[in-house]
Amino acid sequence: MGDKEQAPDKQTPAEVPPPVPPPVDPPQPPPNPDPKNGEDPRKMSKSEKIMVWATCVIAAGTLVSAGAICFQWYEMHTGGADTKAIANAAQKQVCAANRSVDAAQKFADTAEDINKGIKDAAQQLQASAENSKQWTKTVQASMRLDQRAWLSATSTGQTIAISKPISANLRLQNVGRTPAMRISGLIKMESIPQDKTPTFLYKQKIVKGEPTVGDFNLATMLPNAQANLRIPAAMGVENGKQVGEIVLDQPNAEALAAGTVKLYLHGEINYCDIFKVRHWIKFCFVYEPNPMQQIANPDGSSFIACRQHNETDDESDKQERCPAPKPN
């Protein structure tokens, strides 16, 4: 078999055919075999028109966005300098505002000091006004006290003798510097036991068993003027009328001399001054038969001042205004 084996034949490469040249006139696509209603097959359909319009709108929007971006970039680029200028101006305004705040604070502090000074000055003026007002009142009170009318009552004698009416003499005098006006008084003389004191109550009505109260009225007393009054001791009533003066008998004379009975002369006097202020005095005298005790009265009267009911008003009392005089 080996003899029959033959060596493989060498294969020769196949020949490549030459390229076919393209046709000079390429064939045209065949026309639409089924045109609708005779329309031109080359005309765009409705969907194709919509796609074209949409493409145009998108393109226009893209152009507008690109323009806006470019304009914004331009504004940002050119506005940086303006922003810096604005920031600098704002910084200056802040500094100016701070200076204004400082100036306002200084003004507020100054205004507060001024207000405090004004308040202190007002308080000082008010205190000065109060002091002036008080000083004026003090001066007026001192002037009235120095210039007003002053009435005094003094016992100047008596008639005390057996078988004679009992009476005492009373002298009123204006020792002030201005007239005393509208003078009125209530005066009583009474005898009571030595261990009792007068009640100093005055009733103008005649009451049985009580001493009669004598009243008097004077119009005006000029400075240093005097009025001498005789005050009788009277008691009792008869048919509603006052019985005459009391006559001293022997038993009463002995009782007065022994001191077991005391004889009192007391009363109240009211008057007005030129400042239309009402004033008053109260007086009380007691009969003292002992000649040694009579030295207390320089007028030689046996009546000496009591230990009570000798008073007068002063400017510290509540000042009562004199009422208007009644027409005649």
pLDDT tens digits along 166-176: 889 999 999 99
299 shares its domain with 172: yes
Cα distances from 80 to residues 67, 90, 144, in angstroms, run: 20, 15, 92
What pLDDT sits at residue 2?
Answer: 46
Question: Domain for residue 16, yes or no?
Answer: no
71 shares its domain with 112: yes
Q: What mean pLDDT value characterizes the chain?
A: 77
Among the three residues 147, 171, 189, which one is the final residue of a domain in this structure? 147
Distance, in Å, from the CA atom of 110 to the CA atom of 141, rounded to the nearest integer, reads: 45
Asked if 265 and 187 count as a contact pair (C-beta separation under 8 A), the reply is: yes
211 shares its domain with 73: no
Question: Domain for residue 276, yes or no?
Answer: yes
Question: Domain for residue 112, yes or no?
Answer: yes
Q: What is the pLDDT of residues 187-210, one digit of tens each?
A: 888 888 888 888 888 765 544 445
Which range has the top average pLDDT, 48-57, 73-82, 229-238, 288-297?
A: 48-57
Among the three residues 147, 165, 194, which one is the final residue of a domain in this structure? 147
Residue 256 domain boundaries:
151-312
172 shares its domain with 143: no
Backbone angles phi, psi at 258, to 5 degrees: -80, -15
Question: Domain for residue 237, yes or no?
Answer: yes
Say how many domains are in the chain: 2
253 shares its domain with 294: yes
141 shares its domain with 105: yes
221 shares its domain with 113: no
**Confidence band (pLDDT; 50, 70, 90) for 266?**
very high
Question: Domain for residue 21, yes or no?
Answer: no
Question: Domain for residue 127, yes or no?
Answer: yes
284 shares its domain with 261: yes
**Confidence band (pLDDT; 50, 70, 90) for 240?**
very low
List the structure tokens of 151: 């009435």
99 shares its domain with 211: no
159 shares its domain with 241: yes
Better-scored residue on pLDDT, 36 or 51: 51
Question: Domain for residue 195, yes or no?
Answer: yes
297 shares its domain with 170: yes
pLDDT above 80: residue 135 = yes
Half-sphere exposure of 311 (CA within 13 A, CB side): 8
198 shares its domain with 267: yes
pTM exceeds 0.75 for this model: no
